[in-house]
């Protein structure tokens, strides 16, 4: 008797699973979302590194240039856009 109920439950499970076939979803890479931003024209903006520690050893000119952001290379743009879900 118990096996009959278990078998019926398994059949019902597989019947429901076939009816609700859906495409898989791409998860957003959260670390990449915090490091990159997409501009209005579709370019990927990234901030410079080396602007957190040991700032007393760096020249004022170097720190000033590190403050600004830069545009990512076209070779890396497609990869980053796929990671952050903006393609």
Could you read off the pLDDT of 3-58 as tens digits, one per residue? 767 777 777 766 666 556 677 788 999 999 999 999 999 999 999 999 999 999 99
Q: For position 19, what pLDDT does the model report?
A: 55
CA 24 centroid distance within chain: 16
Rounded to two decimals, the pTM is 0.64
CB-based contacts of 86, cutoff 8 Å, min separation 6: 38
CA 43 centroid distance within chain: 16
The residue-averaged pLDDT of 70-80 equals 94
Residue 76 has pLDDT above 80, yes or no: yes
CA nearest neighbour of 80 among 42, 36, 40: 36
């Amino acid at each position: 008797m118990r096996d009959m109920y278990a078998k019926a439950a398994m059949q019902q499970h597989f019947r429901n699973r076939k009816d609700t076939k859906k495409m898989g979803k791409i998860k957003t890479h959260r670390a990449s979302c915090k490091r990159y931003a997409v501009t209005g024209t579709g370019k990927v903006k990234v901030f410079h590194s080396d602007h957190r520690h040991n700032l007393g050893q760096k020249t004022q000119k170097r720190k000033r240039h590190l403050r600004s952001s830069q545009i990512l290379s076209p070779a890396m743009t497609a990869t980053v856009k796929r990671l952050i879900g903006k393609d």
